[in-house]
Amino acid sequence: MINQDLLELLRCPACVKEKEGSLQLVKDTWLVCDECGRKYPIVEDIPVMLITEGDKWVETKAADLAVPAPRPA
């Protein structure tokens, strides 16, 4: 499980420069940006906050996200 203090600090790297970039924890294994809809997997309790990784999942509905999150390629 990811630390709650860390969750409060993390922001979407694609949005944070112009917007708040708030992230919501989904299924305990994904961080979903409120503004752009990018989805960042959490693998072995480590958030993968690469924009390219978030881009892969932007079209996937939060309800359809895999648990556990797949490892980045």
Is the Cβ–Cβ distance between 35 and 12 less than 8 Å? yes
Name which of 19, 30, 16, 18 is nearest 7 in CA terms: 30
Instruction: Name the more confident of 7 and 13.
Output: 13
Q: How much of the chain, in percent, has pLDDT values that exceed 70?
A: 100
pLDDT of residue 21: 92
All domains of the chain, ordered by start, with CATH?
Answer: 4-61 (2.20.25)
* φ, ψ of residue 53 in degrees (nearest 5): -70, -40
